[in-house]
Amino acid sequence: MGIKKTMVDMIAQYVRGRPRHRYPTKKIEEILNLLRMGLSFAQIGREYNCSRQYIHQLKLRWAKFL
């Protein structure tokens, strides 16, 4: 006996959710610019009212723009 294909296997793979942004937004560009200038995550977080963890995630996500 062979393996029976299900409908899920036969349907072409599809992408779920919205597509990722290709370029950072203006706010994120400003944050990346401050990172380039050497400010700490905490300083930027206080300025933009967000966490150090979020700043670090942005740094990792948009590394090619740094």
pLDDT of the residue at 5:
66
14 domain residue, yes or no: no
Angle between helices 41-48 and 52-61 (to 10 degrees): 110
Q: Report the pLDDT averaged over residues 32-55.
A: 96
53 domain residue, yes or no: yes
Q: Where residue 3 falls among pLDDT bands split at 50, 70, 90?
A: low
pLDDT of the residue at 24:
94
Nearest 5°: CA angle at 47, between 40 and 55? Answer: 50
Q: What is the CATH number of the domain that holds 30?
A: 1.10.10
3 domain residue, yes or no: no
Can you give the residue range of the structural domain that contains 39? 19-65
pLDDT of the residue at 60:
96
Is pLDDT of 66 > 70?
yes
| Total domains, the chain | 1
Q: Give the number of other CB atoms < 10 A from CB of residue 12.
A: 4
Is pLDDT of 45 > 70?
yes
4 domain residue, yes or no: no
pLDDT of the residue at 49:
96
Task: Identify the CA nearest to 39 among candidates 28, 47, 49.
Answer: 47
